A and B are shown apart, each in its own frame.
Chain A
Amino acid sequence: MGRKAVREVHRGPYPELTWTALLVGYGLGTLITISIGYASLKLGFSIEGSELAAILGWGILRGLLGRTSIVENNINQTIASAVNGASAGLMFSVPALLIIGQRVPEAGRFSSVLVVFAAISGGILGLAFVIPLRKQMIDFNRLAYPGGIAVAAILKSPGAGLRKTAYMLAAAGISGLVHAAVLTLLPGEDLDVGAILGLPPLLNITFYLSLLTVGTGFLSGRGGLMFGLGGFICYFALSPALARFGVPEVQRLVAEGPDAVRVELYRPLGIGILIGAAVAGVFAAFPLIRSAFRSMQDASRARGESRLAADEMPIKALYVAIAAGFVVLVLIADLAVPQMTLPRAVAMAVLGTLWIWVAGVIVSECLGRTNWSPLSGMTLIAVTILVLIASGLGSTAAIISSVIVGAAICVAIAQAGDMMLDLKSGYLVGASPRKQQIAQMLSTWLGPIIVIALMWVLHGAYRMGSDKLPAPQAAALASTIEVIIQGDVPKLLYGAGAGLGAMLAFSGLGGIGVLIGLGFYMPFNIVLTYTVGCLARIHVQRRYGVEFVENVGIPVAAGLIVGEALVGVGNALVRIALAMGA
C-alpha cells in the first residue's frame, strides 16, 4: 500500500533511445574505455564493461537524474559497452605496430586517421553482419549469453523484488570478496588439485579460482557441458596418448607441461574446429537463417503495421552498410602503404569481409553458449590471412597493411559479440532490438578515437612495450606476425581441425562443434571451473526444480558474475595507480 502511494504512474511513451541515454552512454563509455584500455596496455587483459555500465547507469540515470526506465538504462549500457568494444579490438592489434616500429621505424609511421576509419568501418561491418543473426541465435536457438543474463538481472533489479535483488547483491558481495582475497592473499589464481592428489601433471587438474566462472557455467547449464568435454578430451585422452605414442618432439612438449601442449597443439586445432564448426553450422542452420532474413524483409515491407515489424532493423540498410563498409575497407587497404596495389587491396578487403562474417558467427555463438570469446584466435587468423596476401609487398608494408586492416576486423568481431550480448539482455528486459542496433551503430565512432588518442598519449609518455607499458597482447601479436612472415603457420592443424569441426556440426547434436572447439582452445583451468557451474545447475534443477533455479539460482549466478567483474575493474585501477606511483 505504502509502495503504491510513493511510486508515480507514468502515461505516454516508455523512454528508451533518448538523448539522455545517448549522452550518459557516451560519457560512461569514455570512462570505461579509458580505464579498461589503459588496463589492457598495462596488464594485458581486457574486461567486458557491460555490467559496470549497467550499474553506473543505474546510479546516474535513476539516482542523479531521476529517470525511471529499465529499457533506457539498457540503451545506456548498450552504448557504453559499444564504445568500449573498440578497446578490446584496437589494444590487441595496433600497438603491435608501435612495438615493431622501435626496431623497424617505417612500421611505426602509420596513419592514425586511417586506423580510426578502419576501426569505424570494421565496427559497422561487424554489426551489419551479425544483426540478421539475432533471430537465429536469440529467438530460435535461445543461446544463454550468461553475460547478457547478468546485465539483465542488474537492469531489472528495480522491479525484481527485494528477495531476488538481495540474492544478487549477496552473491555479488561474496564473489567480490572471494576475488579480492584470491588476488591479495594467494600467489596465483589457480588451485592445482591434481598436485594435491598426486596425479600426473599432464592431466592438468587445476581449477581457476573464480566464482564468475562458476556463475557463467551455472547460467549455461547442461548446454555448456560439451565445452568441458572438449577440455577433457585434450587432457584425459589426447595428452596421455601423446605421451606414449607421439613423436619424440611431441613427447617432450607433453613433458614440458599442459600449457606448452595447449599453445602448440590444442589451441591451433581448436581454432580449426571452431572455424569448421561455425561454417558448417551456418549451412546446417540455413533454413533458420533464411527464415530470419525473410522475416526481416517482411518486416521492412510491413512497417507500421505491427510492433514486431517496427522492431526490426531494415534489411536494406544492413546491405548498404555492408557494401559501404567493404568499399571503405578496400580504400583503407589501398591507402595503408604506398606499395599497395588495387587487386591486392581488393583481395584483402574481400577476405577480410568474409572473415568478419565467419568470425562474427563464431564469437557470437561462443559467447552465447559459454560467455568466453576466442577473439585473439580469430584476430590471429585474420592477420595470418592478410599477411599472406600482402607478403609480396615486402615485410614492413605487409605488416602495416595487415595490422591496419586486421584492426578493422578485430573491432568488427568485438562489436559483433558485444551486440549479441546486448541484444540478449535487451530481449530479457523487453527492449526494442531496432533501437539497440541503432544505438550500437551510433557508438562505433567514439571508441576508436578515444583508444587511438589514449594509445599515442601513453606511447609518448612511457613507450609501448617498455616495462611501464608492456602491452602484452600486442607484444604477443608482434612476435606472432614475425613468425607468420617467416612462414611458420600451423596450417595443417587448422585444416585438420576444420574437418573435424564440420563433421561435428553436421551431427545434429546442437552446437557441439563450437563448444568442443572452444574447449580445445581455452585453458583447462577455466574449463574445469566452468564445468562445476554447469553441473551445479543440473544438480540444483533436479533437486529443487526449475522455479528455484529461476528465482534463486539465476540471481545468485548473475551476482557472482557482477561481483567479480567489479572487483576486477577495481583491481586493475589500483594496480595501475600503484604502478604509476612506483
Chain B
Amino acid sequence: MRAVGHVLLWCGFLGGAFTAVRSGAAPAPSALLPAYPILLAVGIAGVVLLRMSAGRALAHAPKVEGEMTLMRAALERLCAALDRMLGERSSIDVFDVHERIDEELLKDLAGFAEARESMIPAFGLEGYADVMTCFAGAERLINRAWSASADGYVDEVWDSLEQAATLMREARDRFLSRVPSARAAP
C-alpha cells in the first residue's frame, strides 16, 4: 500500500507540475484542464494511501517498538547521569563539567533526538509535543550548564543541571505514562 501511495503521489506531483509549466508562464486556465485536477486527485489518493499505511504500520512496527525501547533507555540513563553529576558536585571541578556532559550525556541526548519521531505514531502529535517540551527544555539547560562550565560560572552550572534533571525526569515520566497505552493499541 505504501509503495502504491508513493507511486500515485509522485505521478500526481510530476504530472501536475508538467501540466502547469508546459503552456508557458501565463497559461490560459483552460490549459490546466482537465489534466491538472485529475493529476491532483491522483496525488491526493496517494497521500490518503500513505497516511493509511503509516497508521497501519504503527500497530505492528518493530522499528517503532525498538526505538521506543531505545528512547526509554536513553531517558533512564540521562536521568541517572544527571543525578550522579549532581551528587558529585562538591568533587567536580566546574571547568570539567562540560567535558563530563560531552562524555556522559551527549550520546543519549543525540540518540533520543534521532529516534524522537517514533513517538508521533505511538503517542499522537500532542503526546509527542508534551514529552518534547520537557526534553528540549532539559537539553537547553544542559547546553547552558555546558556554556557556564566553559566560562567558570559555578552557581549557574549547578542551578542549570538541577533544573535540567527535574525536566528530564518529567520527560521520562510523561514518556512512560504513555507507553502502555501505545502498546495496547491495535
Tell me if B180 counts as interface (CB < 8 A to partner A): no
- Taken residue by residue from 229 to 256, chain A's Cβ proximity to chain B (1 for < 8 Å, 0 otherwise) reads as 0000100011001100111011001000
Q: Which stretch in B36-44, B59-67, B68-76, B78-86 binds the other chain? A: B36-44
Residues of A within 8 A of B16 (CB): 496, 499-500, 503
Rounded to whole angstroms, the CA-CA distance of A135 and B137 in the bound complex is 10
Which A residues touch B95, using CB under 8 A? 3-4, 7
Which residue of chain B lies nearest to A507 when distances are taken between CB atoms in the complex? Answer: B47
B147 CB contacts on chain A under 8 angstroms:
14, 69-71, 155-156, 159, 429-430
Q: Which of B19, B26, B149 contacts A490 (CB 8 A)?
A: B26
Instruction: Answer yes or no: A9 CB below 8 A from chain B CBs.
Output: yes
Cα A497 to Cα B99 with chains together (Å): 49
Interface check B173, CB cutoff 8 A: no
Which residues does chain A contribute within 8 Å of B151, judged by CB atoms? 10, 14, 68-70, 158-159
The digit string for B15-32, where 1 denotes a CB below 8 A from any CB of A, is 011111111111101011
Contact A503 B47 (CB under 8 A): yes
Given A3-B95, A10-B153, verify A142-B144 contact (CB < 8 Å). Answer: no
Q: Check A242–B148 contact: CB distance below 8 A.
A: no
Chain A residues with CB below 8 A from B182, complex form: none
A142-B17 contact, Cβ under 8 Å, with A159-B98, A285-B125, A506-B47: no
- A209 adjacent to chain B (CB < 8 Å): no
Is B133 in contact with A250, judged by CB distance below 8 angstroms?
no
Given A139-B132, A247-B24, CB of A430 within 8 Å of CB of B155: no
Q: Across the interface, which residues of A come within 8 angstroms of B110, CB to CB?
A: 546, 550
Q: Which residues of A contact B145 (CB under 8 A)?
A: 430
CA A510 to CA B93, docked complex, whole Å = 43
Task: Name which residue of chain A comes closest to B49, CB basis.
Answer: A507
User: Is A543 engaged at the interface, CB distance under 8 Å to the other chain?
Assistant: no
Q: How far is the CA of A488 from the CA of B26 in the complex (A)?
A: 8
Judged by a CB distance under 8 angstroms, whether A360 is at the interface is no
Bound together, the chains give a CA A237 to CA B141 distance in angstroms of 47
| Bound Cα distance from A125 to B160, whole angstroms | 32
Considering the complex, which residues of chain B in the window 148-166 have a beta carbon less than 8 Å from any beta carbon of chain A?
A: 148-156, 160, 163, 166
Q: Tell me the minimal C-beta distance from A135 to chain B in angstroms.
A: 7
| B106 contact set on A, CB distance < 8 A | 550
Counting CB contacts under 8 A, is A391 at the interface? no
Q: Given contacts A292-B129, A500-B40, A507-B46, is CB(A430)–CB(B24) below 8 Å?
A: no
Q: A70-B150, A308-B137, A503-B40 are in contact. Are A250 and B23 (CB under 8 A)?
A: yes
Q: How distant is A557 from chain B, measured CB to nearest CB, in Å?
A: 16
B29 to chain A, nearest CB (A): 6
- Which residues on A sit within 8 Å (CB–CB) of B93? 4
Does A438 make an interface contact (CB < 8 A)?
A: no
Partner of A11, one of B43, B133, B155, B160: B155
| In the assembled complex, B88 has its CB within 8 A of some CB on chain A | no
Report which residue of B17, B40, B98, B117 has the largest number of chain A beta carbons within 10 angstroms of its beta carbon. Answer: B17
Within 8 A of B (CB), among A107-126: none
Q: Which of A1-30 touch B at CB < 8 Å?
A: 3-4, 7-14
**Distance (Å) between the CB of A289 and the closest chain B CB?**
9
Chain B residue numbers with a CB within 8 Å of A241 are 18, 22
Q: Is B54's CB within 8 Å of the partner chain A?
A: yes
The one of A10, A140, A506, A507 in contact with B132, judged by C-beta atoms closer than 8 angstroms, is: A140
Chain B residues closer than 8 Å to A506, beta-carbon distance: 44, 47, 51
What residues of chain A lie closer than 8 Å to B12, measured between beta carbons? 503
Residues of B within 8 A of A (CB): 9, 12-14, 16-27, 29, 31-32, 36, 40, 43-44, 46-47, 50-51, 54, 93-95, 98-99, 106-107, 110, 113-114, 116-117, 124-126, 128-130, 132-133, 136-137, 139-156, 160, 163, 166-167
| In the A-B complex, the 5 residue pairs with the closest CB atoms | A159-B150, A430-B144, A139-B136, A430-B143, A291-B129
Known: A287-B124, A308-B167, A503-B9; 19 extra A-B contacts, CB below 8 A, are A4-B93, A4-B95, A140-B136, A159-B149, A242-B21, A245-B18, A246-B22, A265-B24, A291-B125, A295-B129, A427-B136, A490-B25, A492-B31, A493-B20, A493-B21, A496-B36, A503-B47, A507-B47, A510-B117
A residues near B, CB below 8 A?
3-4, 7-14, 68-71, 135, 138-140, 142, 155-156, 158-161, 233, 237-238, 241-242, 245-247, 249-250, 253, 264-266, 268-269, 285, 287-288, 290-292, 295, 306-308, 311, 427-431, 488, 490, 492-493, 496-497, 499-500, 503-504, 506-510, 546-547, 550
A-B contact pairs, 25 of them (CB 8 A): A9-B154, A14-B148, A14-B155, A68-B151, A70-B150, A70-B151, A135-B133, A139-B136, A158-B150, A159-B149, A233-B14, A238-B18, A241-B18, A250-B22, A265-B25, A311-B140, A429-B143, A429-B144, A430-B144, A492-B29, A496-B20, A499-B16, A503-B12, A508-B51, A546-B107
